Amino acid sequence: MGSHAHAPTAPDTLKARIREHLGVNLNHCYQCGKCSAGCPVAEDMDMTSSRALRLLQLGDPALDRKVMESEGIWLCLTCETCSTRCPQEVEVAKVMDHVRTEALRAGLAHPRSRDILAFHRAFLDSIRVTGRLYEIGLVANYKVRSRHFLKDVALAPKMYLRGKLPLLPHLIKGRDAVGRIFAKTLGKGR
């Protein structure tokens, strides 16, 4: 009768965890490159999505590390063009999300991703406290985190003049509930 294939994927790899958490089987990728071909930022990446998928597909912790250390994963805009057009229906953008989460937890995030990370962290800080985004707080927090104090200084007054920059945060009543959501999820690493 037919031979039985036993999954050779080592459990301690991104490939295995992506399969477990996202239900995405990286073996489906046949390296056609269509994800990179349509990626709006591929030409700015040090490692394209298709290259990253190839390295992850090999299920080797050393190669996983290479992907997590790349700058490319932080340039992904989650525009989902890749997942939409993938002929093998691999959810590439979701994979990128997962790799970023693990890269952060492992302390491998690329140095040039600092600003992007600072922004995301500042954003989440803002919601954690008030429940809603407080744009002035976000920008101030981002500037402190990123040390780009002079970035976009000209923009804020123009926004304020157009009524686009409320000075006070909106505090929701369910701030405790939101705080609890953060405490129970962020960085818990499923």
For other proteins, the closer CB: 16 or 124: 124
We find the least distance from the C-beta atom of residue 175 to other proteins, in angstroms, to be 9
Four-point Cα dihedral 158, 163, 166, 171, nearest 10: -150
Does 140 bind other proteins (CB under 8 A)? Our answer is: no
| 128, 178 Cβ separation under 8 angstroms | yes
**Rounded to whole angstroms, how far apart are CA atoms 112 and 75?**
10
Q: Which of residues 97-116 bind other proteins (CB under 8 A)?
A: 97-98, 100-101, 104, 115-116
Give the Cα separation of 188 and 67 in Å (integer). 22
Identify the residue among 3, 5, 6, 89 touching other proteins (CB under 8 A): 89
Stretch that binds other proteins, among 5-13, 56-64, 171-179 (CB under 8 A): 171-179
91 three-state secondary structure: coil
Least distance between other proteins and beta carbon 93 (Å): 7
Query: Which of 13, 15, 131, 141 touches other proteins (CB under 8 A)?
Result: 131
Measure the CA–CA gap between 113 and 175, rounded to whole angstroms. Answer: 30
Q: How far is the CB of 150 from other proteins (least distance, A)?
A: 13
Cβ distance to other proteins smaller for residue 5 or 167: 167
- Cα–Cα dist 109/105, whole Å: 9
Q: Which residues between 28 and 67 bind other proteins (CB under 8 A)? A: 30-44, 47-51
| Side-chain half-sphere CA neighbours of 87 within 13 A | 8
Q: Considering the rule CB under 8 A, would residue 157 count as an interface residue with other proteins?
A: no
